[in-house]
Amino acid sequence: MFIRAYLRASTSEQDASRARSVLDAFAVEQGLRIAARYVENESGAKLHRPELFRLLNDCEPGDVLLVEQVDRLSRLTSPDWIRLRGLIDAKHVRIVALDLPTSWTLTAPADEFTGRMFAAVNAMMLDVLAAVARKDYEDRRRRQAEGTAKAKAAGLYKGRPANKTRNAAISSLLSDGRSWREIMDATGCSRTLLAKIARDRRLLKAATSVETDG
């Protein structure tokens, strides 16, 4: 049995590795060892998350997917959550979340009856918490949209400021020829942001080349 920790943050401005110490402490308390960590900056409302699916691809039957909270794994719609659960169940991977104590027993040996009982309770609670996480996501999106609309109406909306220091570091790493995976690991940026900065660099280079030729 391998323990595979999944650490996610929604945006490149957030630290996806923030929960590492909490997960490490939990593993020590339970007498476990985390074999691998998968870190990414992607929305939990998206089913397509490269690191999550790399984790699942690496899993063998009986492995544990460890998360700080269920919402780190899913803020998905019901159909997407059912699809993800199906993939996880097909791999015979056990989900253990720190905010779901019933799941903690899945890391310890148990007789067949006890194991099945806790698995059933855990599955039900996972579905409940996944539904709560989705509702929280939708409520926050609605409030944000309402706030943005009011700010725009008042002429106060300026959008999210760019993190110039981080973006400059990403651009420098691209100049050095670093791979996208190395850059994402080093800066915690999302693939979407990295693609945008790489595209902007290409456009700037093309424009500079035209001016020089002129």
Q: Any idea which residues carry the catalytic annotation?
A: 10
Q: How many other C-beta atoms are found inside a 10 Å radius of the C-beta of residue 6?
A: 24
Q: Locate tokens 């790493």: which residue?
A: 173
- Give the C-alpha separation, 2 to 4, whole Å: 6
Short-list 7, 117, 105, 110, CA closest to 54? 7
For the chain, the maximum distance between any two Cα atoms, rounded to a whole number of angstroms, is 78
- Give the C-alpha separation, 38 to 7, whole Å: 6
Q: Which two tokens stand for residue 112?
A: 């067949």
